A = this chain, B = another copy of it.
Amino acid sequence: MITRMSTLFLRTLREDPADAEVPSHKLLVRAGYVRRVGPGVYSWLPLGLAVFRRVEQVVREEMNAIGAQEILFPALLPREPYEATNRWAEYGPALFRIKDRKGADYLLGPTHEELFTLTVKGEYASYKDYPVMLYQIQTKYRDEERPRAGILRGREFVMKDSYSFDLDDDGLADSYRKHRDAYRTIFDRVGLRYVIVAATSGAMGGSASEEFLAESETGEDTYVRSTGSDYAANVEAVVTRAPEAQSVDDKPAAEVHHTPDTPTIETLVDFLNSTGERKFTAAETLKNVLVKTRQPGSDEWSLLAVAVPGDREVDFKRVEAALEPAQVELLTEADFAANPFLVKGYIGPKALQDNKVPFLVDPRIVTGTAWVTGADKPDHHVVDLVCGRDFTPDGTIEAAEVLEGDPSPDGTGTLESARGIEVGHIFQLGRKYSDTFGLDALGQDGKPKRITMGSYGVGVSRLVAAIVEQNHDRDGLVWPREVAPADVHMVMAGKDDTVRDTAERLAAELDDAGVRVILDDRASSPGVKFADAELVGVPTILVVGKGLANGVVEVKDRRSGERTEVAVDEIVDHLRAL
């Protein structure tokens, strides 16, 4: 089918939309691919839908290639399964909740773990049925607090979500690997530059998890990568390399100092260094930060202390990720008042442990390390408090901020920060959902075997935007061929009959040869047509115009800008070869 600009439902815009900040948002609107309907809610116009369908088809083909089977769930889902997994509550205001005419509770599905688990349970019973991988390409809903950047972070969007069901951990690892490979193929095929980062689990519980991030300065996701290796991870997932434990025997005894007016690390270090001969750095101090946590479904808050070296801040997002699915908050003044053993600015391990507050420490705080920390009374600190001798942590926690220049967890290079757009996520869920719904297979030995699951997502609509973030220039979109809305954008440059007839004939021949053509047959000026061709971003621009006098047409490569003259007789073969 030839797409004719004269009738195509497309009007390009000269100006960027006022609400657009990132290139994909600006260009997809300007080139007439998408239109805003409401905050985070967009419609796809013909060219946009064409690209979207191409991307969708790549995802579908690669899912089928690993033996995953496509099914389709509704978006409107009853509350009960999400109540059973507690996600009805956990999702908070990000879940669109809805009541039907009878007052029954429904939600618009954000992901479908519950439904897939129940469906497999409904069909399968025996170990012989497994393994199975199922997927859908489906519209999802999340009531984002700040929908932004057009289709990059929408409230209605399309995801491919798949789920694997295996009898054992080896099977899960295999399904996970298959998805990982399929995702690499998908992102390679659509021409994306991406990194695979170790990730935390999000609200879904479970163990191994990686994210596919499209490299992009406009991305919302910050990650760190090693300067010396392939290592990349979400900041939340960075694992601190712990030093070796040391002997506690040769350490000086702990000593309480009067340190007037030193409620901060900086004032403390300054005071110590100005009053004694021994010099301290902030890295030798221990900062004890109090939070309160609440388990899902519980009403009760508990205190928790987190200790990090004083030269680093506590990264609250890392704390949240480490303590998930518990809810975490900072203490209020009322909390301090209710716990008078907490002496603000001077909190030390002793009072915490005496008062049974769980005490988790940064992995750098190993046995034998000595610290300057609070002495649990105003204006006093203790020096040479030795871990494993003077205090014993209840465990470690990844709570300290990650800094550029930190050693890479894999031992090679140091960490640097980068930004990306999350386009895929693979995740070993384990038995969280099969436990909730009792998904068992009857084993060969006649005993029930609990199924283990993986969950895998590709943001299909977001992927369109991510591709644009990496493939555009100041003139417009520059589509990778695999996802382009057409193969050739033919410009009729001239109004005489020879131009028109030749263009029409070539378009028909290309169409017959399976080449997808946009034909600019409008009455507009060549300048308008050229500008629109650049903006629309089809990989090859074909100009039928003055050259005809010499028997040639001009082929322009949209990405490189390179122009070639090709004989009219050879142009169909030439373009088919691309």
Q: Which residues of A contact B (CB under 8 A)?
A: 1, 7-11, 32, 35, 37-38, 41-46, 49, 52, 64, 67, 69-78, 93-94, 96-98, 100-101, 106, 108, 115, 119, 122-124, 132, 134, 139, 141, 143, 145, 155-156
Instruction: Indicate the member of A1, A37, A108 with the most B CB atoms within 10 Å.
Output: A37
Q: Do B155 and A43 touch (CB < 8 A)?
A: no
Given the complex of chains A and B, what is the CA–CA distance between A97 and B123 in angstroms? 34
**Which residues of the partner chain B approach A70 to less than 8 Å between Cβ atoms?**
46, 49
Which B residues touch A124, using CB under 8 A?
A: 11
The 4 closest A-B pairs by CB, nearest first: A93-B101, A44-B72, A38-B78, A11-B123
Q: Is the Cβ of A43 less than 8 Å from the Cβ of B72?
A: yes
Bound-complex Cα distance A41 to B7 (A): 38
Q: List 27 A-B contacts (CB under 8 A).
A: A7-B132, A8-B69, A10-B123, A35-B122, A37-B74, A37-B77, A37-B115, A38-B78, A41-B76, A41-B78, A42-B74, A43-B71, A43-B72, A43-B74, A44-B71, A44-B72, A45-B71, A46-B70, A46-B71, A49-B72, A75-B139, A76-B108, A76-B141, A94-B101, A96-B98, A97-B98, A98-B108
From B10, B119, B145, A43 is in contact (CB under 8 Å) with B119
Q: Are B43 and A73 in contact (CB under 8 A)?
A: yes
Residue in B closest to A118 when the chains form the complex, CB atoms: B37
Query: Least Cβ distance of A521 to chain B in Å?
Result: 13
Cα distance, A70 to B96, chains bound together (Å): 28
Specify how many copies of this chain sit in the oligomer. 2
Measured CB to CB, the nearest residue on chain B to A124 is B11
A37-B116 Cα distance, complex, nearest whole Å: 11
| A183 CA / B311 CA spacing, docked (Å) | 72
Name the contact of A37 in the complex, choosing from B7, B73, B100, B123 (C-beta under 8 A).
B73
Given the known interface contacts A119-B35, A119-B43, the answer about A75 and B156 at a Cβ–Cβ threshold of 8 Å is: yes
Residues of B within 8 A of A67 (CB): 7
Chain B residue numbers with a CB within 8 Å of A49 are 70-72
- The one of B71, B72, B77 in contact with A38, judged by C-beta atoms closer than 8 angstroms, is B77
CA distance A237 to B100 in the complex (A): 32
Question: Which B residues are in CB contact (< 8 Å) with A43?
Answer: 71-74, 115, 119
With a CB–CB cut-off of 8 A, which chain B residues contact A134? 9
- Closest approach, in angstroms, between the C-beta of A99 and any C-beta of chain B? 9
Q: Specify the chain B residue showing the minimal Cβ separation from A94.
A: B101
Query: In angstroms, how far is the closest chain B Cβ from the Cβ of A74?
Result: 5
**A8 and B133 alpha carbons, distance in the complex (Å):** 10
**Partner among B1, B44, B77, B145 whose Cβ is within 8 Å of the Cβ of A41:** B77
Contacts of A98 in B (CB 8 A): 96-98, 108
In whole angstroms, how far apart are the Cα atoms of A52 and B8 in the complex? 28
CA distance A145 to B101 in the complex (A): 8
CA distance A71 to B9 in the complex (A): 9
Which of B41, B69, B78 sits near A9, CB closer than 8 Å? B69
Q: Which residues of B contact A122 (CB under 8 A)?
A: 35
Chain B nearest CB: distance from A427 CB in Å?
Answer: 21
Q: Which of B32, B77, B155 contacts A76 (CB 8 A)?
A: B155
Q: Please determine whether B74 and A41 come into contact, CB atoms closer than 8 angstroms.
A: yes
The answer for the CA separation of A122 and B124 in the assembled complex, in Å, is: 51
For the complex, what is the distance from the CA of A43 to the CA of B143, rounded to whole Å?
Answer: 23
CB A469 to nearest CB in B, in angstroms, measures 21
A139 — which chain B residues lie within 8 A by C-beta? 75, 139
Closest to A96 in B: B98
What residue in chain B is nearest A50 (Cβ atoms)? Answer: B70
Given contacts A43-B119, A74-B156, 17 further A-B contacts (CB under 8 A): A9-B69, A9-B71, A9-B134, A11-B123, A32-B123, A37-B74, A41-B74, A41-B76, A41-B77, A42-B74, A43-B73, A43-B74, A46-B69, A46-B70, A94-B101, A98-B108, A101-B145
Q: Contacts A96-B100, A132-B9 hold; do A75 and B75 have CB atoms under 8 A apart?
A: yes
What residues on B are CB-neighbors of A64 within 8 Å?
A: 1
Q: For A65, give the chain B residue with the smallest CB separation.
A: B1
**Which residues of B sit under 8 angstroms from A156, Cβ to Cβ?**
74-76
Shortest distance between the CB of A4 and any CB in chain B (Å): 10
Q: How far is the CA of A98 from the CA of B45 in the complex (A)?
A: 25
- Chain B residue numbers with a CB within 8 Å of A42 are 74
How far apart sit A67 and B76, CA to CA, in the bound complex (Å)? 33
**Docked pose: A45 CA to B73 CA in angstroms:** 9
A345 to B1, CA, bound (A): 68
In angstroms, Cα B73 to Cα A49, docked, is: 10
Give the CA-CA distance A208 to B141 in the complex, in Å.
37
- With most chain B CB atoms within 10 A of its CB, the pick from A10, A69, A76, A115 is A76
- Docked complex Cα distance between A45 and B77 (Å): 16
Measured between beta carbons, the chain B residues less than 8 angstroms from A106 are 38
Q: Are A101 and B143 in contact (CB under 8 A)?
A: yes
A131's closest neighbor in chain B, by CB?
Answer: B7
